[in-house]
Chains A and B, each alone.
Chain A
């Protein structure tokens, strides 16, 4: 069991997110205070793609959605392994402004080996999503 798997097994969920170096690079946080998982990417100037719009780099929006899906699987899923991304498909719905990005994920199907997860992300108005993704993850080691 590696460190992330151990922290998760101990129920130290915030520590799992913190232990992933990339979360600090783009400002990804997890909030479980409400009893469900809300993943947040804090706004920061270094996440801007094109400064003339200015919008968050589309790749970083995709990264945040994938991360939210993985954290949902770690939060709710019952597989002991860390999920490994097989593929993801991201739809960009509106420009993601230089503001916090909020994400919620839904596990559509959690099989023994494969999970299918959908994620939506919004900024100031939850009724106006800026991006959505669906992803497949491999849950077993082999």
Chain B
């Protein structure tokens, strides 16, 4: 099977071309069909409140959109692309300073046109998430055909 025929492998091979993934330093921990885990290492420039050492909420939003999007991408038929339709996030507790943040998402329903995702962001304990999200993605065929 060619790499273009396996969206998860294609994503892994091309993730380093995605500018904002690189800027954030997102690390892909796991990617398989309809599921993704990434890790974010905290840095000063990502903080919303530097005195308290709390990440800007936007960093969590970006992590969750990234893992949910990657999960959506990984289960697509070749020759398609996806775009976020909507993303809803509940902030459940503040992030702890300095600790790595993990994002984990899965696609729980996929139709021809739409993928539905849920996800969590957590630090030490996955059962004590700092945020939860639900998202939906529109799936479209690429004009040119079979290049994930």
Interface residues of A (CB under 8 A from B): 2-4, 19-22, 24-26, 45-51, 56-60, 62-64, 66-67, 82, 84-92, 95
Known: A59-B66, A63-B62, A88-B88. A22 touches B20 (CB 8 A): no
Asked if B83 is an interface residue, CB under 8 A from chain A, the answer is: yes
Interface residues of B (CB under 8 A from A): 17-23, 44-52, 55-59, 61-66, 69, 83-91, 94
Bound together, the chains give a CA A24 to CA B46 distance in angstroms of 9
Bound together, the chains give a CA A45 to CA B22 distance in angstroms of 11
Residues of A within 8 A of B56 (CB): 20-22, 63, 67
B49 touches A59 (CB 8 A): no
Closest to B87 in A: A90
Known: A2-B52, A49-B20. A58 touches B58 (CB 8 A): no
17 pairs of residues in contact across A and B, judged by CB atoms under 8 Å: A4-B49, A4-B51, A21-B46, A22-B46, A24-B45, A45-B19, A50-B18, A51-B18, A51-B19, A57-B18, A59-B65, A62-B87, A63-B61, A67-B58, A84-B91, A86-B91, A91-B86
6 closest Cβ pairs, A-B complex: A63-B58, A59-B62, A22-B56, A59-B65, A57-B20, A46-B23
B58 touches A22 (CB 8 A): yes
Chain B nearest Cβ from A41, distance in angstroms: 10
A86 touches B87 (CB 8 A): no
B61 touches A62 (CB 8 A): yes
Residues of B within 8 A of A21 (CB): 44-48, 50, 56
Residues of B within 8 A of A59 (CB): 20, 58, 61-66, 87
A90 touches B86 (CB 8 A): yes
A20 touches B45 (CB 8 A): no
